[in-house]
Chain A
Amino acid sequence: MPRRRIPLLRLAWRNTRRHMRRTLLTVTAVTVAVAALTYGPAHVTGILGDFLDSYARTESGHVRIRRDGYTARERFMPVYLNLPRVDELVAAARAHAGVEEVLPRIKAPVLVDGAGSNRGGLLLGLDLERETGYLDPAAMVAEGRLPDPGSAEILVGRLFAEKLQVSVGDTVVLLAQTAYRSLGGLSAVVTGLAASGMAQFDNTILIAPLDQAQELVDLLGGSTEILVFMDDPEAARALARVLQEELDPLVPGGVEARSWKDEGMLASMMQVAEAAFGVILFIMLLMAALIIVNTMLMSVMERTQEFGMQAALGMRRGDIVALVLAEGLVIGMMGAVAGGVLGSGFALWLERTGIDIQSAAKAIDLPFQGVMYPDWQLRFVIAAAALGMVTAVIAALYPAWRAARLTPAEALRT
């Protein structure tokens, strides 16, 4: 006798509707979990992503090339560990596929003499035009204009300028250790004030055209680092290895090419965030699963006679299991949809309004701006919804097994 296909999903749908309130409560458990799982990655990616992005643009690039031994002495910012004839190196790096931009920078601690008072600051010598979209000095100009390459001009952090008591049009004198460890000086006109929103930065920063910085530290044609930016930042490690091999012989004393993924702080931060998120995710799903098990067990027990009847009418064990699993799936789907909508709504709302961490950010020495934004992505919703549904089906396994274990006669008798 040919067996008629059992419309499992439709049956399951009807069964879940028999106790709408109970179903909705069970669905709530899945909803909460899926919403949290949708928002969680958006939150982490948003903050970490924001942080990584701003760290890469202002500090590390995707691959950073410096003279060998620089990293160990990083805090001193030693100009004597430098890269001479930087144009060759830049051209070599630029020749690689997937490289978006290559930027030489000079970083040097300087002593700045303003209107009668002097202070220590950090000089950045930049290729000003090319930096647009990276360190983006043009976007930081709060007053005045960018310095012109070739002339002794300088952009000063706004808070720094306040403390030096200088404003646009004034002249400041910079003193710095040169590449040969002697003392170099430069007198420059302040053409503008910079405001990045990061207090640490605005308090110490001076931005000069690369050629002026080269002159100050006596490093014509050279720089202290080269930042490589890539179309696909994930490929940074491979490129760093290639560049290490390729550029090392070009520089006396050797180079070190490090990818942004190997910056110790970033790596450990991501590891901890991922591990913590994994634990949270697991416990959340476990709790949702337990709630589903509880409800479905009750619904199965209630329907003992019904299952007995169905079995007596020829429904096989496998069919009963499939039916109960399908009910779990229906609950999972409802929760996945509601949770996905809820989590996405929350993430998108926060993406618009932002989370203000201004005061708290000051306590940690990280290049965070005042407001954080989550980063909602469709794949987070899909992953969360899938996890929610899989969990619901897995949770339904035990009740399904209980239902199938009944023999028709016994089940009918109860």
Chain B
Amino acid sequence: MYTLGVDIGSTTAKAVILENGERIVASSIIIATVGTSGVQNAVTEVLDKSGLRMEDMTAVVATGYGRQTYEQADYQISELSCHAIGAHFVFPDVHTVIDIGGQDAKVLSLNERGQLANFAMNDKCAAGTGRFLDVMASILNLKISDLEKEAAKATEPAQISSTCTVFAESEVISQLANGVKIPDVVAGICSSVASRVASLVRRVGVQEKVCMTGGVAQNGGVRLALEKELGVPILYDDKAQLMGALGASLYAFNKENKKNNT
């Protein structure tokens, strides 16, 4: 049985095809915002990669910010539940999932069976999200993918406000004007995101093992800063950004499997 999970996020569209809820056949990530052709491109790409057709999919599940708008979905489910399912699949003994996406941050608490038991989301504010990093990278004229290696070069990380993206932007400009080196500013930015997200994690409770999912998880600078803030190791997998789509695909498999067994 093939199932397709589609995660339509605020800045990227992701798709994962699973075979029998066990093997990832193909995946795709397209940078595009909700409401564009991004989701269709992601689905086309994942089907091309797998050599399968849409008709081969037993079930399609949509999740993410744009889940309501994807008409080809058989079911839709919140991205929080999907990240919980996906993270449990990759790390069976994980109890806390930190998902930092393009425009929000979420912390999930999983019970012993890997089910979502509790969660917290950031306030309506860009601080502590991927958007914060986008804004800061743009000021520094860096690519997002450069942030990790720049942060690694830091010798005296700068202090950046964790309160507000707009204020932090001014702070970064002031730091640069004062001659602070770019790697130190970048390390300060990563710590700023980590500090903001850590308070959200503490709201739910730090229960090991802890993993990171979502696009920002790819940034080692933020991961390291979060490990320091929380004082626990943070698990990471290169499928971090696909975790929502993976969870959606697994949800589709479980749903169909249950249907077939009743």
User: Do chains A and B interact in one complex?
Assistant: no
Write the residues of chain A forming the contact surface with B, with a CB cutoff of 8 angstroms. Answer: none
